[in-house]
Amino acid sequence: MRSVWQSIRTTIVFMVLCGLLYPLFLVLIGQTVFPFQANGELVKGPNGAVVGSRLIAQPVTQPGLFQPRPSAVNYAANGSGGSNLGPTNPALIKEVRGNILAFEKLNPTVSVSQIGPTEVESSASGLDPDITVRDAMLQIPGVAKATGLSTHTLKKLVLGHVRGRFLGIWGEPHVNVMDLNLAVLKLTHK
Amino acid sequence: MTFVGSLGIILLAVITVVLAIPLGTYMYKVFSGQRTIFEGIYNPVERLLYKLMGVNAETEMTWYIYTKKFLTLNLVMFFVGYLVLRLMGHLPLNPDHIPSMNWNLAFNTAMSFVTNTNWQSYMGEQAMSYLGQMVFVQFLQFTSIATGVVMAIAFVRSFVTRTGTLGNFWFDFVRIITRVYLPLSILFGILFLALGSPQTLHGAAVVHTLQGAKQTISRGPVASLEAIKQLGNNGGGFFNANSAHPFEGPNAFSDVLGILGMSLIPTALVVTFGQFIKNKKQARVLYIFLMATLVVGAFVVYAFEAAGNPVLAHVLGIHGPNWEGKEVRFGPALSSYFVSATTAYTTGAVNTMHDSLTPLAGLVPLGFMMLNMIFGSGGAGLLNILMFMIITVFLSGLMVGRTPEFLGKKIQAKEIKLATVAMLVHPFLILVFTAIAVVSKAGLAGIYNPGLHGFTEVLYAYTSGAANNGSAFAGLGANSPFYNVTIGIDIMIGRYVSIIAMMAIAGSLATKKTVPASVGTLATDTYSFGFVFMAVVLIVGALTFFPAVAIGPIAEQLKMWATGR
């Protein structure tokens, strides 16, 4: 019985230490030292209202903005996830085919042979905030046509938003879609 | 495959070992009661904790008492955790109005977190209140790994004890948290915060997107969870997408941190073990063979993922790596190392959806969990390594006709029987539960992908449970009474039976006299022993699991090649 009593007390002590004091201490640090990150990197649009998080992809269905990668959960930022489709599942072919059609709709000048797997295969989180540099370049003609910006301007914009690998070694070079789209909107709202 | 990608994989293994060696030495000091850095702070805090807990942290315990304290504490934490999950809907810190869990989900989840498994049948952002994410998830992420590590330390003491006792459970349990996990978690938590993980008590943000649609963005105290999730080999994420979620893994830097977090302590424990037995070469031999296996696994995943899906290439003309279920910022190489490390170190966090891996790439995480000792999680992993070393010593002894000795202790019938129990409970659970699931209606109902892949989903689930890993082929609809209960039992037996059996061995070894090494002693710190050790592990693994993996991933890979030609 002594063990049980000791265990109950230990449970309470560590629940308070590791379950309350520790996370609340980090809340304190987060809210005072890193308030932008600690609240989810929320960003404002051209008219000053919060339009989303720069770490969370959002659906783009109309021309004029760069598209993020396809999402198996329809960009539900309160219900993340991948498709979990296996490599030999016929549903995977159907899904990718649908994604190709959706991509072609906004980028009519692009042929299938140019499309890379990143743009038509669903991300792991369904909220992947980034696209590859190649996928951004592929979308330039479509965005240029809808916004009236020159392809040259857009190319410069994309290249200016490329983030390289961590220390040049880990990860893939990528472009944050929210940053890029906000930059596009800034140019078109002038 | 690219040069940079391959370099990244090798560098991660090197950095892990380089950082783990000093940490292992430090942990030896922690467990042998020596003074460490910040002694002036730790000492009074720990004395206060002992007082609040009502324990004596000085009396030496036999294996029986030590194990009893471990089991009682686990039982109490399970019940308290279960209560939190059943009541959290009515408790504070719940800005998104998340309801309490039903009985079978709460049973599964409480069992899963108390055993360091972190199998999640629930979706984090939809089924766990902030209070639950803190006083259930983060609390148990500290204590479950701490109870695992101390059992391994107690076992190691059986080789060097002079009194037949194995140390004091409370002393070990408190010190591993205050001197290792808590300070490291604060450091990692702040880094994760700086890199982009949220840490807030505000509820979900509701925004109007650039196109004017409504988007609800879940957030919460993520960074603190992320730190102990990785450091403690827990793997249970804040969000459903786990480390793939941009809030849990905002960039490649945070991904590298996560990998190092899960790798450091289990790797360091091998050094700690070497320090206890005063044999550094033992640690080196284990390092070389285990790390090589891990790196080979990462390259196998990388090769198959980089080759891509031939079916999509053939039918749709989409060429290139398999990006289904991967994130751009990580890319195939880093994702491949993560897949290997999270199963080798029995963590279970994912930055890639394992269900969407190409079949043979998916075999690597499955295989690592089946072997369950490529480092393993903190503590439980070292126990499994020691268990296989005992089996290897015994088999080698049989082959050359010598009485087996392991680190100066005679290995006799009792130890071998117990080690065999600890070894066989793992495949027994996996194969029997999988067999039950695939012949029952309730089991088949959860399968998401058709055909051979569906079988692998079930096999993976029970392997993950028995190995206390927690990663999943997440298509499986595991949140049903059938899977919640069976996987919960799978997890429970997988954790406790092997630990109790190993502790009984420790109790037996502790009372044996140390035999001085002679010419006839089989040295376990040689490379030839390491080779035989790995061979035993692989042969035992292949003999038990080959039929199952043949009809799962291997057959599926052949099918994929055939379709994609």
B241 vs A59: CB contact, 8 Å cut-off? no
Q: Is residue A21 part of a domain?
A: no
A39 vs B55: CB contact, 8 Å cut-off? no
Q: Is residue B387 part of a domain?
A: yes
Residues 6+ apart with CB under 8 A from B350: A124, B235, B242, B243, B244, B338, B339, B342, B471, B472, B474
Mean pLDDT of chain A: 95
A10 vs B250: CB contact, 8 Å cut-off? no
By the CB < 8 Å criterion, does B217 face chain A?
yes
Q: Which helix (H) or strand (E) holds A53?
A: strand A50-53
Task: Write the burial class of residue B520 (CB in 10 Å: 0-12 exposed, 13-18 middle, 19+ buried).
Answer: exposed
Q: In angstroms, rounded to a whole number, what is the distance separating the alpha carbons of residues B496 and A67?
A: 49
Residue spans of beta strands (DSSP E) within B363-442: 405-406, 409-410
CA atoms within 13 A on the CB side of A150: 3
Residue where a domain terminates, one of B255, B278, B301: B278
Residues 6+ apart with CB under 8 A from B413: none
Tell me, yes or no, whether B237 and B123 share the same domain.
Answer: yes
Beta bridge partners of A170: A166
Q: In angstroms, rounded to a whole number, what is the distance separating the alpha carbons of residues B287 and A70?
A: 41
Q: Is residue B9 part of a domain?
A: no
Domain count, chain A: 1
Residues 6+ apart with CB under 8 A from B299: B6, B9, B336
Please list every residue in chain B whose beta carbon sits closer than 8 Å to the beta carbon of residue A17: 49, 177, 182
Tell me the DSSP string of A135-158.
Answer: HHHHHHHHHHHHH---HHHHHHHH
Q: Is residue B294 part of a domain?
A: no
pLDDT the model gives residue B400: 83
Tokens of B467: 């190995």
SS3 A161: coil
B242 to chain A, minimum CA–CA distance in Å? 8
Determine the longest span between alpha carbons in chain A, in angstroms.
78
Tell me, yes or no, whether B268 and B415 share the same domain.
Answer: no
Neighbours of B287 (CB within 10 A): 21
B215 vs A75: CB contact, 8 Å cut-off? yes
Q: How far apart are the first and last CA of chain B?
A: 21
Please list every residue in chain A whose beta carbon sits closer than 8 Å to the beta carbon of residue B173: 10
Tell me, yes or no, whether B264 and B384 share the same domain.
Answer: no
Q: Is residue B71 part of a domain?
A: yes
Going residue by residue through chain B (565 aa), what tens digit of pLDDT does each one get?
Answer: 899 999 999 999 999 999 999 999 999 999 999 999 899 999 999 999 999 999 999 999 999 999 999 999 999 999 999 999 999 999 999 999 999 999 999 999 999 999 999 999 999 999 999 999 999 999 999 999 999 999 999 999 999 999 999 999 999 999 999 999 999 999 999 999 999 999 999 999 999 999 999 999 999 999 999 999 999 999 999 999 999 999 999 999 999 999 999 999 999 999 999 999 999 899 899 999 999 999 999 999 999 999 999 999 999 999 999 999 999 999 999 999 999 999 999 999 999 999 999 999 999 999 999 999 999 999 999 999 999 999 999 999 888 888 788 999 999 999 999 999 999 999 999 999 999 999 999 999 999 999 999 999 999 999 999 999 999 999 999 999 999 999 999 999 999 999 999 999 999 999 999 988 877 788 889 999 999 999 999 999 999 999 999 999 999 999 999 987 7
Please list every residue in chain B whose beta carbon sits closer than 8 Å to the beta carbon of residue A27: 199-201, 221, 224
Q: In angstroms, rounded to a whole number, what is the distance separating the alpha carbons of residues B9 and B384?
A: 25
Task: Write the burial class of residue B548 (CB in 10 Å: 0-12 exposed, 13-18 middle, 19+ buried).
Answer: buried
Tell me, yes or no, whether B264 and B382 share the same domain.
Answer: no
Residue where a domain terminates, one of B240, B261, B278: B278
Q: In angstroms, rounded to a whole number, what is the distance separating the alpha carbons of residues B267 and B251?
A: 24
What is residue B351's DSSP assignment?
A: S
pLDDT the model gives residue B518: 79
pLDDT the model gives residue B21: 95
Candidates A1, A5, A7, partner chain B, best to mutate (most B CBs within 10 A): A7
Residues 6+ apart with CB under 8 A from B243: B226, B237, B249, B255, B258, B338, B349, B350, B351
Q: Hey, what's the torsion of the CAs at B491, B497, B498, B501, to 10 degrees?
A: 170
Share of chain A above pLDDT 90, in %: 92
Candidates A80, A100, A162, partner chain B, best to mutate (most B CBs within 10 A): A80
Q: Hey, what's the torsion of the CAs at B143, B149, B152, B156, to 10 degrees?
A: -130
* Closest CA relative to residue B147, chosen from B346, B344, B380, B345: B380
Determine the longest span between alpha carbons in chain B, in angstroms.
80
What is residue A19's DSSP assignment?
A: I
Tell me, yes or no, whether B384 and B262 share the same domain.
Answer: no
Angle between helices B359-371 and B280-307 (to 10 degrees): 160
Q: In angstroms, rounded to a whole number, what is the distance separating the alpha carbons of residues B457 and B451?
A: 10
Q: Is residue B325 part of a domain?
A: no
* Closest CA relative to residue A67, chosen from A153, A142, A161, A147: A142
A83 vs B325: CB contact, 8 Å cut-off? yes
pLDDT the model gives residue B399: 87
Range of the domain at B508: 377-548
Q: Is residue B358 part of a domain?
A: no
pLDDT higher than threshold 80 for residue A92: yes
pLDDT band at A135 (very low <50, low <70, confident <90, very high): very high
Q: In angstroms, rounded to a whole number, what is the distance separating the alpha carbons of residues B117 and B496?
A: 12
Letter string b/e over residues A44-56, b meaning 16 or more CB atoms within 10 A of that residue's CB: ebeeeeebbbbbb
B199 vs A38: CB contact, 8 Å cut-off? yes
Tokens of B180: 């290792």
A108 to chain B, minimum CA–CA distance in Å? 17
Q: In angstroms, rounded to a whole number, what is the distance separating the alpha carbons of residues B235 and B243?
A: 9
Q: Is residue B82 part of a domain?
A: yes
Residue where a domain terminates, one of B278, B309, B333: B278
pLDDT higher than threshold 70 for residue A190: no
B556 vs A87: CB contact, 8 Å cut-off? yes
B324 vs A92: CB contact, 8 Å cut-off? yes
Range of the domain at A138: 62-188
Handedness of CA B98, B99, B103, B104 (dihedral sign): negative
B323 to chain A, minimum CA–CA distance in Å? 6
Domain count, chain B: 2
Task: Write the burial class of residue B186 (CB in 10 Å: 0-12 exposed, 13-18 middle, 19+ buried).
Answer: middle
